[in-house]
Amino acid sequence: MDPLVIQGFGLAAYAVNMVGFSTKRDQLFRGLLFVSGSLFCIHYVLMGAYVAGANLGINGVRSFVSLRFKGYTWFGIFAVIQTIMSVMVYEGLIDLLPWTASLMSGFALFCLSGIQMRIAMFSCALTWMVNALIVGSWGGSLNDITNATLLAITIYRMKSATEREAGQAAL
């Protein structure tokens, strides 16, 4: 397949993620993660980064499931699935990056909300960014740099709004 088409999948996923990571609405955030995760799955598999692709495919489904279900049990189920799939296609140490990032984001989606969820997703974005730069993914690199930036801004906005509300309540 044409390398530009492969990179196009990553850039399309990047565009969807830009919208998702800039929203303050948890449900919309998770829904858009489903779409972008699916596109990134295709992108990374076509690039030959199979652990990243497998984890992103599972992440897409996981984001969709997290729209309705929460808790440590659901996190545990997906952590086991991701670990098994990662072991099955593991090729080297770089494959630990997408696995680790996927576990972080899974915990965030099933067990956290609000600012705490976004702080965990910020750590996840930095881990994915290292992976994307190593494997040469244009969309992945742009996505994770942008995600980290948007998450930092969104965390700041949410924290500022909480502080404003607390200040108004004190009046």
Give the range of the structural domain holding residue 155, as residue numbers without chain letter. 3-170
Distance, CA of 151 to CA of 158 (rounded, Å): 10
Structural domains counted in the chain: 1
Helical axes 96-111 vs 26-47, angle rounded to 10°:
160
Q: Per-residue pLDDT tens for 94-146?
A: 999 999 999 999 999 899 999 999 999 999 999 999 999 999 999 999 989 98
pLDDT at 86 over 90: yes
